[in-house]
Structure 1
Amino acid sequence: MANGDPMQVSINGRKLQCPFCGHDQFRQRDIKLNTAGMSFLGLDWANKAATGLICGQCGRIEMFMDPPQLAYHQP
């Protein structure tokens, strides 16, 4: 999925909607989950990442760790 254009997303066959505004199109990006210990050691790059889905209307971010089945669809 390209980070530019918002797309509809389903997870395990269920369509995702923003719980705040109800919009159904999201942009995707990886989000680093930084920890104080790794930052102190200068190893931020080694932290785990979550999949972030950003609502195309209000900007709310939903984060998923190892999402089982993400599917992207053109609106």
Structure 2
Amino acid sequence: MENPATVIIADKQLRCLHCGHDQFFKSLRRLTTAEFDVLDLVFPHQTAETYVCSHCGRVEWFIPPVRDGMTGSTEGDFDCLECGGIIPNGQKACPACGWTYVP
């Protein structure tokens, strides 16, 4: 397991809401279809970044922000959840790393 680290999300340092600690373990988690429904996701994100507080164990979940109903940089394009590249509209896999949002 990696060492815990300071995390910056949307230009703000992450702090545990329970204990105030600022060191977290990072991992990626697959979301299930039921979680899509609960989170009312427009785009079927298959993974979320999770950060576990190294002091108390509280888990924080983050998915890419939705912009104009999509996650992409331009209309119809998507941000790759694996490498951060752009998946052009109509393609099912990232041209940079091969990651796919289709199960």
What range is the shorter-chain TM-score in? 0.5 to 0.7
| Higher-RCO chain (CA-CA 8 Å, sequence separation at least 6) | 1
Q: How does 1:22-37 map to 2 (within 5 A)?
A: 22-35=20-33
What are the ranges of 5 or more consecutive residues in structure 2 without an aligned counterpart? 35-44, 66-103
Percent identity of equivalent pairs: 40
Question: Which has the higher Rg, Structure 1 or Structure 2?
Answer: 2
Alpha-carbon RMSD:
1.7
1:5 aligns with 2:3: yes
* Structure 1 counterpart of 2:25, one-letter code: R
TM-score, length-normalised on structure 2? Answer: 0.49
Runs of 4+ in 1 over 4 A off after TM superposition: none
Normalized per residue, the structure richer in strand is: 1
User: For residue 44 of structure 1, what is the aligned residue in structure 2?
Assistant: none
Letter of the 2:8 partner, please give it: S
Size of the aligned set, in residue pairs, is 55
Counterparts of residues 13-24 of structure 1 (less than 5 Å)? 13-24=11-22
Task: Report the 3-state secondary structure (helix = DSSP H, G, I; strand = E; otherwise coil) of the residue aligned with 1:8.
Answer: coil
* One-letter code aligned to 1:57: H
Aligned to 1:59: 57
* Secondary structure of 2:7 counterpart: strand
What SS does the aligned partner of 1:54 have?
Answer: strand
State the TM-score, normalizing by the size of structure 1. 0.65
Tell me how far 1:35 sits from its aligned partner: 2.0
